[in-house]
Structure formats: structure tokens, C-alpha cells
């Protein structure tokens, strides 16, 4: 009994969400109404309670429970907090959009909580079985949210594409996991590391490649990015905001944990894979977005590019590299949520618009919104002194310290190319003839946009808390 109590203490945020989502399903069923009702508020309270449980946890408390399947450490706490923030902000931003489109269904908050529970289980996975269970719990909920608007052909197409390709990637990941189990005789990451030692055989390398295929799909990095532009464009905008934020935290977290805990002796092998995916993602994100005229599709390629930049730190194979990855993901989350708050604010006569040209002359019709979007675009492009610059600085610095000079140089060049399409949006807002003015956004959207933009501008004033949290989280992984 004491062991079970200890396990439940370590998994308290997950327990809160698991019990809460069961209660939400019952409430939704007994209400007998298809509309959202109080479900979004309940979901936000649950997610907030899980976040508080993480933040108030006694510093330094960690442990491995559930027969070594679940690990509770500062690294997991950091990434779980980011995933929870992404889910909470998504729910807060989604209400007005879904009500305006007539798809304000009570299932969406339930699916968000379920997906977030899967993310948290995935982040804390300490073995192949736990990894797969967390991944599938997250993925199955995400498949449904992508096609939430059943009467919209684009959304249905997005959901079908995501489901088919996601199922394929899950199968490849499961095949890789079976290879790793077959050649190591273990499902725990520590057991795999001890079994393969410093000289992994061909079977282990094949298993590693297939395992990375599944994880790369969730991170939407090249060459497993093909679903991202179509799903981002076709899915309802709040769903796209969710896909671009919280699930990315979980995917990057588990990829980092697997690399450093299961394959410490196979650094040369996995480093080549990560370097290739990083370079390909940065290049595609930089060049493919240049000709995009749909801002959601542009953000899809931007997301691919930013995952490539995050992988620069991962490729370093050092504690500084992990710190850079954690810091980068935190900044990326804030920038992405702010950008999608701006996209959700793009409504004319009650209808959402998605073209970059719809931002024309925004400085003349809504100067504060134009200023906040401009700050976010500058930060996304990595220009000092905004926070986006420091995010790239940390990952490039880790690559240079690991003697990956070519990777760092390519990253800087791709960042310079990507700056073109970010700054093009600024040019459209400030120098083109004014398009029809947007409807007044909700207070929530204005608050998210303002807070994210101002935090990017003022990060350099007091960076210590985030830097220290990332440093502490990175140390706990080693």
C-alpha cells in the first residue's frame, strides 16, 4: 500500500487529469446537450490543478515508480508544465471561434484533456511500453480533434490524412520498439542502455531508426513532415494552435529522454540521424514558406523549421544541448500561442480569414495588434534583443561547443532565409494599402497576444527564472 501511495504521489498531475476526464465524460453524457456548456471551464480548472501540482512539488523530489515504467524528475516537470500551459491557453482561445462557427461541442475540451494526459504519460515514460501507451493516448485524441468540424471538407481531409499517416508512423515506432526489445531483452530505457553498451549491433540501429521515425512524425520534422501543412490549414484554427504547441513539447521531451537514457553508448549513430533531420527541417522550413499566402500554412512550415532549430541542441549530445532544447521549446511555445492568438483575431464580419493579404494596412486599422504581431514575427525570426534570438543562441552555442560547426552555420543561414517571410508580414501590415478592418477580438485573445509579444520584448530584463529552470531540468536527465 505504501508503494502504491508513493506512486500516486509521483503521478499526482496525471491522476488529477485521469479522474477529471472521467468526470467530464459523465457530465457531458448526463447533460444531454451537444454544446460546450461548462466543459471548457472544467477542463481549464483540471489542467490548472495539474499545473499547480507540478509547480508546488517539493524541489528535488524525484523517483521511478510503476515497476520502473514512470519517471518523475525535474526534466519531466519542466516539459509537462509547458504542455499544460499550451493546452490551457488553447482552450481559453477556442471558445469564441467554435461558437462563431457553430461547432461548439462539449467533446473538444474532453479530447484536449485526454491528449494532455497522454502527453504527460509520454514525457514521463521510462520504457518502451509506457512510451507507446502515452503516444497512442495522445494520438487517438488528436486524430478526432483534427476532424472536429465534420461538415467542413478541409477538416475531414485533414483528420483523415493525420489518422492514416499517424497510424503508419505508430506502426513503424512499434516495429522499432520490438526490434530493440528483441536485441536487448529489455523494455526499460536503462535496461536497453546496459544491454547494448557502447557497441550497438545492426539490429539495434535499425530499431533506433524505426523508433525515431515515429517520434519524428509527432515532432513534424523532415522527412516525416508531410502531414503538417495540410492538417494545419484544414483543421479548425484552435485545433491547429493546439497541434503547434502542446504535442510538440511531449514529442521533443520523449525524443530527448530516449536518446540520453536508452542510447548513451550509441551517440555516433543517433547523432547522424538527428543532424540530418535538423538540417533538412531548417532548410525546408526556411524555403518552403516563402511562397505561402495562407498564414496557417506558413505557420506549419515555420513550425517545421523551428523543430529543426530545436534539434540542433539535441544533436550536441551534451547537458548544454539539452538545456538549449528546453529553453528553445519554452520560447517557441510562447511565440506560437501568440501567433495563433493573432490568427484567431483575424475575423471580418464574423467570418475567419486566413490570407496574409488580409493583414494589409493593419497598422491603420488596429495599431496595437499590428505592433504585437510585429514583435512576434521579429522574435520568430531570431533578431536580438527579443527572446527568439536567445533561444537560437543557446542551441547554436551548444552545437559549437560540441564541435558541430557546420550544423551551427547552416542553422544561422536558414534563420536568415526564414526572416524573409516573417518580415514580409511586417511589410504587409505597415506599408500595404489597408484591407477591411478586423472585428474586435475577445479580451482573451487580446490578452494572449499582448502578453506573449511583451514577454518576447522584455525577456532580457529578467531571464534568470527560465534559464535556471531549464538548467535544473537538464541536469536531472544526466
Where in the sequence is the domain holding 456, given as residue range(s)?
264-478
214 has a pLDDT exceeding 90: no
Does one domain contain both 210 and 293?
no
Final residue belonging to a domain, choices 262, 283, 310: 262
Does one domain contain both 15 and 63?
yes
Does one domain contain both 75 and 215?
yes
Q: Which residue did the predictor score with more confidence, 50 or 268?
A: 50
2 has a pLDDT exceeding 60: no
Final residue belonging to a domain, choices 232, 262, 292: 262
Q: What mean pLDDT is predicted for residues 227-237?
A: 85
Cell of 87: 493546452
Q: How far is CA 238 from CA 241, 319, 340, 345, 437, in A?
A: 5, 35, 8, 11, 22
Q: How far apart are CA 259 and CA 93, in angstroms?
A: 35
Does one domain contain both 390 and 402?
yes
Does one domain contain both 161 and 288?
no
- Nearest 5°: phi and psi at 224? -115, 40
Cell of 128: 518502451
Does one domain contain both 142 and 206?
yes
**Residue range 438-465, pLDDT digits in tens:** 888 889 999 999 999 999 888 888 888 8
Does one domain contain both 229 and 311?
no
Q: Sign of the CA dihedral 315, 316, 320, 324?
A: negative
Does one domain contain both 319 and 418?
yes
Does one domain contain both 332 and 393?
yes
Q: How far apart are CA 345 and CA 269, in angstroms?
A: 45
Average pLDDT value over all residues in the chain: 87
What is the reported pLDDT for 325?
Answer: 93
Q: Domain total for the chain?
A: 2
DSSP secondary structure code for residue 58 in this structure: P
What is the reported pLDDT for 159?
Answer: 80
Does one domain contain both 120 and 234?
yes
What is the reported pLDDT for 10?
Answer: 79
Final residue belonging to a domain, choices 246, 262, 278: 262
Do the Cβ atoms of 452 and 337 come closer than 8 Å?
Answer: yes
Nearest to 287 by CA among 426, 411, 378, 420: 420
Q: How far is CA 56 from CA 12, 51, 60, 81, in A?
A: 12, 9, 12, 12
Q: What mean pLDDT is predicted for residues 202-216?
A: 88
**Residue range 363-422, pLDDT digits in tens:** 888 889 999 999 999 999 888 888 889 999 999 999 999 988 999 999 999 999 999 989
**Residue range 251-290, pLDDT digits in tens:** 999 999 998 888 888 788 888 889 999 999 999 999 988 8
What is the reported pLDDT for 154?
Answer: 76
**Residue range 52-65, pLDDT digits in tens:** 999 887 666 667 87
pTM of the model: 0.93
- H-run or E-run covering 71: strand 70-72
71 has a pLDDT exceeding 70: yes
Does one domain contain both 242 and 327?
no
Does one domain contain both 275 and 205?
no
Q: Which residues of 115-125 are buried (b: 16+ CB within 10 A; e: fewer)?
A: bbbbbbbbbbb
Amino acid at each position: 500500500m505504501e508503494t502504491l501511495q508513493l506512486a500516486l504521489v509521483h503521478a499526482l498531475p496525471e491522476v488529477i487529469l485521469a479522474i477529471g476526464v472521467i468526470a467530464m465524460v459523465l457530465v457531458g453524457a448526463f447533460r444531454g446537450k451537444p454544446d460546450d456548456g461548462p466543459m471548457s471551464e472544467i477542463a481549464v480548472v483540471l489542467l490548472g490543478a495539474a499545473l499547480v501540482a507540478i509547480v508546488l512539488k517539493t524541489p528535488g523530489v524525484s523517483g521511478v515508480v510503476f515497476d520502473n515504467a514512470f519517471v518523475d524528475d525535474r526534466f519531466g516537470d519542466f516539459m509537462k508544465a509547458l504542455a499544460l500551459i499550451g493546452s490551457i491557453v488553447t482552450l481559453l482561445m477556442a471558445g469564441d471561434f467554435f461558437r462563431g462557427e457553430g461547432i461548439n461541442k462539449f467533446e473538444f475540451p474532453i479530447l484536449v484533456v485526454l491528449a494532455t494526459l497522454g502527453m504527460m504519460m509520454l514525457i514521463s515514460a521510462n520504457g518502451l511500453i509506457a512510451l507507446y501507451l502515452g503516444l497512442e493516448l495522445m494520438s487517438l485524441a488528436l486524430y478526432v480533434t483534427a476532424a472536429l468540424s465534420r461538415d467542413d471538407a478541409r477538416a475531414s481531409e485533414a483528420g483523415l490524412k493525420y489518422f492514416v499517416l499517424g497510424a503508419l508512423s505508430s506502426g513503424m515506432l512499434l516495429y522499432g520498439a520490438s526490434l530493440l526489445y528483441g536485441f536487448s531483452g529489455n523494455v526499460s530505457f536503462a535496461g536497453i542502455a546496459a544491454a547494448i553498451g557502447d557497441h550497438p549491433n545492426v539490429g539495434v540501429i535499425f530499431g533506433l531508426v524505426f523508433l525515431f521515425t515515429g517520434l519524428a512524425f509527432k515532432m513534424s520534422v523532415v522527412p516525416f513532415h508531410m502531414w503538417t501543412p495540410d492538417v494545419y490549414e484544414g483543421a479548425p484554427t484552435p485545433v491547429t494552435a493546439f497541434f503547434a504547441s502542446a504535442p510538440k513539447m511531449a514529442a521533443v521531451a520523449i525524443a530527448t529522454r530516449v536518446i540520453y537514457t536508452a542510447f548513451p553508448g550509441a551517440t555516433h549513430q543517433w547523432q547522424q540521424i538527428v543532424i540530418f533531420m535538423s538540417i533538412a527541417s531548417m532548410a525546408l522550413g526556411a524555403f518552403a514558406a516563402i511562397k505561402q499566402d495562407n498564414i496557417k500554412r506558413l505557420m506549419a512550415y515555420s513550425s517545421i523549421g523551428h523543430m529543426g532549430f530545436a534539434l540542433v541542441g539535441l544533436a550536441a549530445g551534451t547537458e548544454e544541448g539539452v538545456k538549449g532544447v528546453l529553453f528553445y521549446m519554452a520560447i517557441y511555445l510562447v511565440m506560437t500561442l501568440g501567433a495563433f492568438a493573432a490568427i484567431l483575431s483575424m475575423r471580418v464580419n464574423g467570418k475567419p480569414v486566413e490570407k496574409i493579404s488580409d493583414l494589409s494596412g493593419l497598422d491603420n486599422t488596429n495599431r496595437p495588434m499590428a505592433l504585437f504581431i510585429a514583435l512576434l514575427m521579429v522574435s520568430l525570426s531570431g533578431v536580438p534583443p527579443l527572446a527568439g534570438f536567445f533561444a537560437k543562441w543557446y542551441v547554436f552555442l551548444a552545437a559549437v561547443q560540441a564541435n558541430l560547426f557546420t550544423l551551427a552555420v547552416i542553422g544561422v543561414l536558414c534563420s536568415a532565409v526564414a526572416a524573409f517571410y516573417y518580415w514580409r508580414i511586417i511589410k504587409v501590415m505597415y506599408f500595404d494599402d489597408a484591407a477591411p478592418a478586423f472585428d474586435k477580438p475577445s479580451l482573451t485573445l487580446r490578452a494572449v497576444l499582448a502578453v506573449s509579444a511583451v514577454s518576447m520584448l522584455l525577456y532580457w530584463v529578467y531571464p534568470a527564472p527560465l534559464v535556471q529552470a531549464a538548467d535544473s531540468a537538464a541536469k536531472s536527465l544526466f
